[in-house]
Structure 1
Amino acid sequence: MEARKNEVMNKYSNPWKTVSSKNIYTNPWLSLREDQVIRPDGQPGIYSVVETRIATGVIALTPEMDVYLVGQYRYPTECYSWEIVEGGTDDEETALAAIKRELQEEAGLLAAKWHNLGGKIHISNCISAEVARLFVATDLSQTQSAPDGTEVLEVRVEPFEHCLQMVERGEITDAMSIIALLRLEQEVRRGGWEQFF
């Protein structure tokens, strides 16, 4: 039994050796680190890692099982994107506090009930250490929105089933939105809609 445990531990242990690390670039939203490494094949190399704050996303859900989507132009991908409400944490801010703020800023909504939608997610783990946390918000009420100066947003409400169809048709391409919608679909299959209201 002990030999099997060691075999499993070795199988999943880190095959990379970090020789040195240096920060290449930093701005208020991210930093780029470059590591000198010994690769799994024993050869020297470099590995660059983007580090960010925690990413957050929320499915704002009505009693009719409609979802608030936010549309905006995404500069890096050079395309318009329909997404759930998303954002990042500020300094010393929890993921829940951040997404409550983002829900109000982007969609003009407050929520009385919050549900964690699974554990952490690694968004792009081949180049980034970014971690995301997802939530479902219900018992919604309207308030004033206050988007950031970098955001030109359109908010629309779509039936949950239509959102899943948008994923299937490739109309929703944002990874956090897709993961959140599919996780919610699984949760509903297991426990029904009542668990969220």
Structure 2
Amino acid sequence: MSEWTVHGSRTIYTSPWVELDLVDVEPPGHARYEHHLIKLAPVAATVLLDDSERVLLMWRHRFATKTWNWEIPSGIVEPGEDLAVAAAREALEETGYQVEASALEPLAYNQPIGGMSTAEHHVFLGRDAVRVADPVDTHEADRIEWRPLDQVQQMIDDRQIVAGVAVTGLLQLIARR
């Protein structure tokens, strides 16, 4: 199969968080048409694991999907920011737990909606996190808890963990055990 031909694009909406383009594409052997492309900044996330084989999870509501679920700390990578630095920053801001960016291990990478978005998720594994403060981003979670890793698969099966970046990172951690 050949690559699609891109004949051009035009931005129809932009903000600091998202850009929406219409792209003039031509799939091999098919007619040209305009395809939506959602451009998003990369996301960095951290699975924090303690010595008791527990992961730090945040119970939160997502208004877009009307979903309550457990998530891992994650957020947008600022322009020019190192991925691991962003992951450590988000963990501190959202949970109050600090982990050194240099100690984070790459755990997972995915493109959650590759057919129509530039979104990329970079998930790191952090150990030896230390609680140094209250969360700065108090709107991020109703509560923060250490949960046993051996319960995570069932939590995913029960749709208690549904966020793509969390599912990807946690399943990758389970697969590596």
Provide TM-score, normalisation by structure 2: 0.91
Query: Residue 151 of structure 2 aligns with which residue?
Result: 162
**Alignment partner of 1:128 is 2:105:** no
Gaps of 5+ in 2: none
Change in CA separation of 1:182 and 1:74 when aligned onto 2, cut-off 3 Å: same
Report % sequence identity.
Answer: 22
CA RMSD of aligned residues (A): 1.5
Q: SS of the counterpart of 1:106?
A: helix
Query: Residue 89 of structure 1 aligns with which residue?
Result: 77
Amino acid at match of 1:77: T
Note the C-alpha offset of 1:184. Answer: 0.7
Provide TM-score, normalisation by structure 1: 0.82
Q: Distance between the aligned counterparts of 1:151 and 1:183, measured in 2?
A: 24
Partner of residue 97 from structure 2, selected from 80, 103, 109: 109
Note the C-alpha offset of 1:174. Answer: 1.1
Amino acid at match of 2:105: H
Q: Distance between the aligned counterparts of 1:41 and 1:78, measured in 2?
A: 41
Tell which has more relative contact order, 1 or 2 (C-alpha 8 A, sep 6+).
Answer: 2
Greater Rg over alpha carbons, structure: 1
8 Å Cα contact 2:58-2:141 kept in structure 1: no
Q: Distance between the aligned counterparts of 1:153 and 1:102, measured in 2?
A: 16
Q: Distance between the aligned counterparts of 1:154 and 1:126, measured in 2?
A: 34
Query: Residue 35 of structure 1 aligns with which residue?
Result: 23
Note the C-alpha offset of 1:41. Answer: 3.8
Change in CA separation of 1:175 and 1:38 when aligned onto 2, cut-off 3 Å: same
Q: SS of the counterpart of 1:102?
A: helix
8 Å Cα contact 1:106-1:153 kept in structure 2: no
Amino acid at match of 1:175: G
Amino acid at match of 2:158: R
Query: Residue 76 of structure 1 aligns with which residue?
Result: 64
Note the C-alpha offset of 1:152. Answer: 4.5
Number of equivalenced pairs: 174
**Alignment partner of 1:175 is 2:167:** no
8 Å Cα contact 1:20-1:37 kept in structure 2: yes
